[in-house]
Amino acid sequence: MASGGLKLELLDVRGQGIRDDVMIELAGLDRSNRYKNTVFVEKQVEIKGIACDPFARYQVTIWPSDYRPSQFFITLRGGQTVSREPVQFPVDAGKVVDINAPLYPDLDQRLRGVLETSNIDTHPGKSGQELYEMLDAVRKACLLNIFMKSANTMLLDGTSCFDHIGGLIKLRGDRFFAVTRAALREEVQNAKAIFHEVSGALHHPPDGYTDAGSFKTGERYGNLQLSFFRRGLTGDDYLVDADLDESAGIEHGFEVLRNHLLDHDTSPYDIRELLLKYHSLDPGYSFLFAQEAAILSSASA
C-alpha cells in the first residue's frame, strides 16, 4: 500500500513556534487507519508513513499542552508529503500561570498617567508603579488589553478613546471603571462610523450615578464597549465602564476543537489572542506556563 506524509507548521497567535508538547492524531474517514503520537514541537513537524492508496482523507487533531486543540481535514496522497497553511493555536487560558508584562517604566506614558491618578477598590490608596506591580496577572492583562484597544480607537476630534480616561476606580478581569468627562461621551456618540449605540442592561450604574448610554465599535470580534454613567443632571461628573467583547471569536476565528470550548469562560488571555489576530494590536505581554518537573513512578511489587 502506498504511503504519504504530512508536514505542518504550528504557530502561536504572534506567529512564533509554539514550543510545546503536542499529541497528534490522524483518523481516516473510512475508519481503516488511525495514527497517534506525542512529540515536542518547536515550530514544524513532519509525519511519515501514513497509509493512502492512492489518496486518503484524514481528520487531524492536534492537542498541545498549553494551547487549545485544533482539528481539520486533509487529503494525503501516496508518495507525496502534503503541507498546508500554518496551524495557529490560541492559548488555553486555563494553562496560563502568569504573564510576562512590560515593566512600569516601559509602559506608554498615557497609561502611567492614568495609573498615577487611580485609586481602585481592591487596592485602596495605591497608585502608579506600586499599584501596577500589585495587580494580579488577570487584572494586569485586562488593563493592557483595554489600553491597547482604546488607545487605537480614534475619535473625530483626532484623540483616542483612552486620551479621555482619568483615574481608575475599579479593575476586574474583564473591564475597568474610570473617571471621564462629557467630552468622551459626546465624541463617541458623534462617531457613528465607529460606534453604534447598544443596550447597557448588563452594565449597572455605580451608587449615585445614572445610566448615560452604552456604545460599541463595529468589529466582529474583540470590539470595544463604553458604557457611561452620570452624576446629577448637570455638570461634568462621568464614569465609563470599558470592556472588550470576545463574541465567539475563539470559536469562529480559529480551527479550535469545538467541544473543548466548553471548558473555559472567556478570559483576558482570549481577548489578547483576538486583538492580535483581528486587529493587529499587541498588548505587550506574553504567557508563562507551568515548568517541567521530574516525575518518578514505580510499580508495586
Residue 225 has pLDDT above 60, yes or no: yes
pLDDT digits (tens, 9 = 90+) for 31-44: 789 999 999 999 99
pLDDT on residue 249: 65
pLDDT digits (tens, 9 = 90+) for 259-281: 655 455 679 999 999 999 999 99
Specify the residue for cell string 521530574: 294
CA–CA dist 28, 35 (Å, integer): 9
Domain-wise residue ranges, the chain: 3-89, 94-287
Residue 25 has pLDDT above 70, yes or no: yes
Q: How confident is the model at residue 235 (pLDDT cuts 50, 70, 90)?
A: confident
Cell (9 digits) for 194: 465607529
Phi, then psi, of 31 in degrees rounded to 5: 65, 10
pTM, rounded to two decimals: 0.92
CA–CA dist 224, 147 (Å, integer): 10
pLDDT on residue 202: 78
- CATH T-level topology, domain 3-89: Immunoglobulin-like (2.60.40)
CA–CA dist 249, 219 (Å, integer): 11
Mean pLDDT score of the chain: 92
pLDDT digits (tens, 9 = 90+) for 154-204: 999 999 999 999 999 999 999 999 999 999 999 999 999 999 999 877 778
pLDDT digits (tens, 9 = 90+) for 111-148: 999 999 999 999 999 999 999 999 999 999 999 999 99
What does DSSP assign to residue 91?
B
DSSP 202-238: TSPPPTT-EEEEEEEE--SSSEEEEEEEESSSSSS-E
